[in-house]
Every structure is written in C-alpha cells, then in structure tokens.
Amino acid sequence: MSGALPTRDAIVATAGESIGRGSKSFAAASRLFDRRTRERAWLLYAWCRACDDLADGQDAGHHHHVVSDAEAEARLEVIRVRTAAALEGRWIGDPAFDALRIVVAETGMPHRLVWDVVEGFALDAAGWRPRTEADLFKYSYHVAGAVGCMMAVVMGVPPNDNAVLDRACDLGLAFQLANIARDIEADDRIGRCYLPEEWLVEMDMPPGQHMKPPFRPRLSVLAKRLAKCAACYEESARGGTPALSFRSAWAVLAAAGIYGAIARKVAAIGDHAWDHRVKVGKLEKLGWIARAWWQARNRKRRYSGTPRPDTLWQRPR
C-alpha cells in the first residue's frame, strides 16, 4: 500500500456505517454495549457483511442476484485470500478485512472460528442444500452459530470457555432459523432453499416447488417448526448471559427478543408470511430493549445454573 494507512478510528467509523445500512436490528442492539465492545462488534460485523456481499453479489445484504458457479468460486477465493492475510496481521487495504485484522488482534479470536464462518460461504458457493435436519444445523452453525461464538469473545468471554460459547452459538442458531423462516421466498428467487429435503418430503412438497400457491399451508407448517426451534435455542442462549457484563447481557437479550419476534411473526402470519418481508418496527424494538434491561438486571437470579438441554444440536469443537 502507498500513502498513510487508515487509522483504527477511521475503520471503526466505516464499520459503523456498514452496520447501519446492513442491519438496523443489530445496530440498535449494539448501541447497548460499552464503547470498546460496541466498536469491536462493529468491526466483526463489517467483515461478516463484506464476505456475505462478496459471496452473493449484493450490497449491504440487499439486491441479491444469482451468481454463476465460476463467479461464486472466484468470489470465495477473494474471501479466503483476504481473510488469510488479515489473520496474518497484514493490512489489506479493504476496510472490512482490516476490521477483521484489528478485532482478532485485540481479542485473541481463535482463527478456527473465523474459518468456520468462511466455510459457510463455501457451502453457498457450492450450491449446497440441507438433506436432513442435522444438515440444517450444520449450515446454521457455519453462517451464524460461529459468529455468535466470535461475538462472545468480543464481549470478553475466554476463547476456551466452551460452556458459554455453546450458549452464544445457540443465539446465532436462533437468529439464523428466524432468518430462514422469514426469507424462504427471497431465497427461492435466487435458487436457494434451506429447508431440509426430508422436511419437504414429509410434507409431500417437491423440492423447488415449495413456493407454489397450493403448498402455502404446508409451507407455513414448516415455518412454524423453524420458529419453534428458534425459540428453543433463543431460550438456551439466555442461560449464557450471567457470564456477561450487564451492558453486554442487555445487548444480547435485546437482540434475542428482536430476532425472536421475527420468527414469532412469521409463525403467526401463516400462509401470507412471505407476501411482504416481515419486520420489527422501531417502537417494537424499543419495547424489547426496555424488557431486556430488566432481564439483564435479573439475569443471574433467573438464568444462573440453568442447564443446556441435551436435545439441542452440539457445535463442533
């Protein structure tokens, strides 16, 4: 690179702009963190957002289009090369990947978690689709559960505290299951489907035909199943909040409530859940933030010692 290198503050500012454009829900919840944690959360988000945009040829999570196999592999290679350089501590000249370099250096982030997330982009690049429910959770781990673990490290959880990282992974899984339920129609438009094939067979829906009007009642059954699964992982994730500072717990609980509301809305709307993209309004978000403040105040009394259910999917270690 020639010329002066960008400052940390400049990269943080760019990351803050990224989260503001890409996820209003996460942006609102991140404001509850203390400054240091908030900045690191923004830096991590910027890398995740940039990788997602690169992989799907989109802008801040919007305007998806179908990417050819050759183009998808080329984009994945860019992600891998820039990520590897960031993990080696080199300046990339791309604010999002320089953001990763900073947050990994400042937190001691395990590199394996970073590569676990990259594997999620590889699955999409390969046109991978889940055959079983276990496949669904495997995919959800790579694109969201591992990010939940990274966020826990950003919040100060020791990288070897597997019990708390499991809860953080659960929150990521809950978010992803809610997203899958909400975005079934949007994913179908770009040739993707994250509903397990065994679920479609169970409901007698031919793969690739699930968005056809005659199948809407059956599709809503599967959306409710996703929402129910999301609720289980959301509740489990709350069990990890006693290990967090008050402000971090507040942010986590607010995000859990907001994303949980998305899944519950999809389930409640039923057959018409995909006529318009389900959203959580500003006043509703404020309501969840207020509830989360009270929950964070009482988190140790309410959630301490709560065992993680054995029936939940276990992340790889």
DSSP letters, 156-225, are T--TT-HHHHHHHHHHHHHHHHHHHHHTHHHHHHTT---S-HHHHHHTT--TT-TTSGGGHHHHHHHHHH
Residues 119, 182, single domain; the answer is: no
Ramachandran category for residue 300: left, alpha or beta (phi over 0 → left; psi -120 to 50 → alpha)? alpha
For position 3, what pLDDT does the model report?
A: 56
217: phi then psi, degrees, rounded to nearest 5: -60, -40
Q: How far apart are CA 177 and CA 179, in angstroms?
A: 5
Residues 178, 253, single domain; the answer is: yes
Residues 71, 216, single domain; the answer is: no
Tally of domains within the chain: 2
For position 61, what pLDDT does the model report?
A: 44
160: phi then psi, degrees, rounded to nearest 5: -100, 10
Residues 309, 193, single domain; the answer is: yes
CB 182 within 8 A of CB 210: no
Residues 205, 296, single domain; the answer is: yes
User: Nearest-5° angle of CA 177, CA 183, CA 187?
Assistant: 115
Is 244 in a helix, a strand, or coil? Answer: coil
Among residues 126, 155, 188, the one where a domain terminates is 126
Residues 253, 228, single domain; the answer is: yes
Q: What is the CA radius of gyration of the chain?
A: 19
Among residues 126, 159, 181, the one where a domain terminates is 126
Residue 296: alpha-carbon gap to chain centroid: 21
Residues 69, 136, single domain; the answer is: no
Residues 119, 138, single domain; the answer is: no
Residue type (1 letter), 3: G
Gap between the terminal Cα atoms of the chain: 37
Q: How far apart are CA 156 and CA 85, in angstroms?
A: 24
Per DSSP, the chain holds a count of helices (H) and strands (E) of 15, 0
Q: Which residue ranges of the chain lie beneath pLDDT 50?
A: 1-2, 60-63
For position 6, what pLDDT does the model report?
A: 84
Q: How far apart are CA 306 and CA 68, in angstroms?
A: 46
Residues 69, 159, single domain; the answer is: no
Is 31 in a helix, a strand, or coil? Answer: coil
Q: What is the pTM of this model?
A: 0.92
Residues 209, 250, single domain; the answer is: yes
Among residues 96, 126, 156, the one where a domain terminates is 126
Residues 6+ apart with CB under 8 A from 136: 130, 180, 194, 195, 196
Residues 95, 155, single domain; the answer is: no
Residues 6+ apart with CB under 8 A from 54: 75, 78, 79
Residue range of the domain that includes 31: 1-126
Residues 175, 117, single domain; the answer is: no
* CATH at 138: 1.10.600.10
Buried b (16+ CB within 10 A) or exposed e, 172-201: bbbbbbbbbbbbbeebbeeebbbbbeebbe
